[in-house]
Amino acid sequence: MAFFLAIFPIIIVLIGMIFFHRSGTFVSIIGWILSAILATTYFHTPWEVVLGASLVGIIKALGITLAVIFTMFLIFLMRETMALSKIIEYVKGIAKTKEEQTLFLGMGFGSLSTSLGMVTPAMFPPIFRLLGFSPLAAIAVSILCYDPLTSFALFSIPITLPAEVAFKVFKINPPGIDSLQAFIWDFTFKITAFLPLISVAFAWLMLWTVGGKEAIRKNWLAATLSGLVLSLSALILAWLRLVPVEVIGIFSGLLTMLFVNLYYRQRNHREKQEDLKPILNKRELLWASSPILLLILLSFIVNFPQIKGYLSNVLGDKEVILVFADKKEDLNILSSVWFWIFVVCILSIFILRPSKETLGRVTKLWITRIGGPFLAYSLFFAVAFIMAWSAMEVVDGKLVPTPYFKEYNMNVIIAGTLAKLFGSAYPLVVPFLGLIGTFVGGSTTASNVLFAKIQWGTTLQTLGPQAFMWIFAAHAVGGGIASAITPSKITNAAATIGVSGREEGKFIKATLIPVTLITLVTGLLLMLYFKIFG
């Protein structure tokens, strides 16, 4: 009963989207209400903790929600000033078919953009619509392209931040791991060990959502090779430690773009050469793409470790707020990607020079579209923290576990029940815990942080400490895969092109089974790695 009630809000969210075609915004509200009621009535959680967890979740989500809404403004501005149309003309000149555009933009530029901190569900749907994709296909590729590298988003924060919390805060020290850097590199390498199959699977899934079996039949080799270029380059870079962890995804995405372009140029060599050339002059292209180029440049500079560290300390304690009990939050405004997206928005107004009427139209459209994604991301983060803080209470101003914590904490119940049910086969379900964590919270980073200690305890009980790094890596990969069905991202993508909950429901219905199978493959790979490496 406890296990069923712990996952009940997740079940309701899925039913609401798949069978009743409700939007992610609507189900996020229902999910939050259900989680709050269950936490207080069954899981021994005081109301003040539920409300405090919700507030912390909403503030934690600001890094994503603000990035989303400012990205939406930028893409609306580019569309209304025709800059986006100019970029589309160029893309059509170098990638002629929808399948080629899917692999070039989705597998290549999507992975690169995600690694730089761009929000592809907010940025890409209008681009694919202008390329002639259906609303469903535009949503699909824009969301799926966030996933092929699973954990290398936002300069690899889903890897580095959970590793730091696990090693320094939770004092998780697996055998052979004697420093934070050793933890990060081992974690990174083990994540990349899963990617060859995962990345190829996402390339195929993108093609399937765009053109079904026919698209896969004609482009299976290109999809397979692009997935291998993306994943194996990341694996080699992680193995040899040739570049910082933070930029592995950038290099892999760029290499994949180059490969896709060269592959199709070679395959289409019989076509007239002028048919393969872009039809836009360089000055027009520079003007049109300047907002994206600025965003790439600033993201790269700001997220360089030394610069990011400096910017994080500029405002000092002025940006640290006490949220609830003893829980403080450092907003890190100047080092957050949302702030620099905002800066690019301001600069782009002067570069693209919209008329007063155009800017008014952009602003009006922006205001009407941002509410849904903002609410969905915020409330799903709130649900994640309610689950993590269930069966906790405030004592002397500090948040501490109640005497019922082990029996009634929702996350502990989910992990513990699955561990008991599967026993030695527990590795098979590890990625599904990552999937659940990201599905609820909308963030792989949050999933990895919130489940790190739980996975450590469960691993000690079932497999021993030497297994933890593989377990934690598979959890992270499962969380990355979950971005493909995360309601908040789906709502975000739908909002940018103005479609309803019906398209959201159709997408999650179409991808739920493939995503489940990819997650299962991750679990099977984990069991295989245990047999090989012990």
In the structure encoding, which two tokens stand for residue 286, read together? 């520079």
Distance separating alpha carbons of residues 445 and 55, to the nearest angstrom: 18
Please give the structure tokens belonging to residue 216. Answer: 């896969």
Separation in Å, CA 373 to CA 56, 478, 494? 18, 23, 9
Assess whether pLDDT exceeds 60 at residue 285. Answer: yes
Instruction: Name every residue whose Cβ is closer than 8 Å to that of residue 82 and which is 6 or more positions away in sequence.
Output: 288
pLDDT of 94: 77
Residues 3, 411: Cα–Cα separation, whole Å: 9
pLDDT in tens, 101-121: 999 999 998 898 888 767 788
Distance CA(429)–CA(432), nearest Å, equals 5
Q: How far apart are CA 517 and CA 197, in angstroms?
A: 12
- Mean pLDDT within 176-189: 91
In this prediction, residue 495 has a pLDDT band, given cuts at 50, 70 and 90, of: confident
Q: Alpha carbon of 38 to those of 385, 386, 403, 526: distances in Å?
A: 14, 10, 18, 33
**Separation of alpha carbons 289 and 295, rounded Å:** 10
At position 477, the amino acid (one-letter code) is V
Tell me how far apart the terminal alpha carbons of the chain are, to the nearest angstrom: 35
Looking at every residue in the chain, the average pLDDT score rounds to 87
What's the pLDDT tens digit per position in 197-214?
999 999 999 999 998 999
In percent, how much of the chain has pLDDT > 70? 96
* Residue found under tokens 């815990």: 433
Q: Residue 219 has what pLDDT?
A: 93
Q: What is the pLDDT of residues 412-463, one digit of tens each?
A: 898 888 888 887 788 898 999 889 888 876 678 878 877 788 788 888 877 8
Average pLDDT over residues 345-373: 91
Q: Are 232 and 199 in contact (CB under 8 A)?
A: no
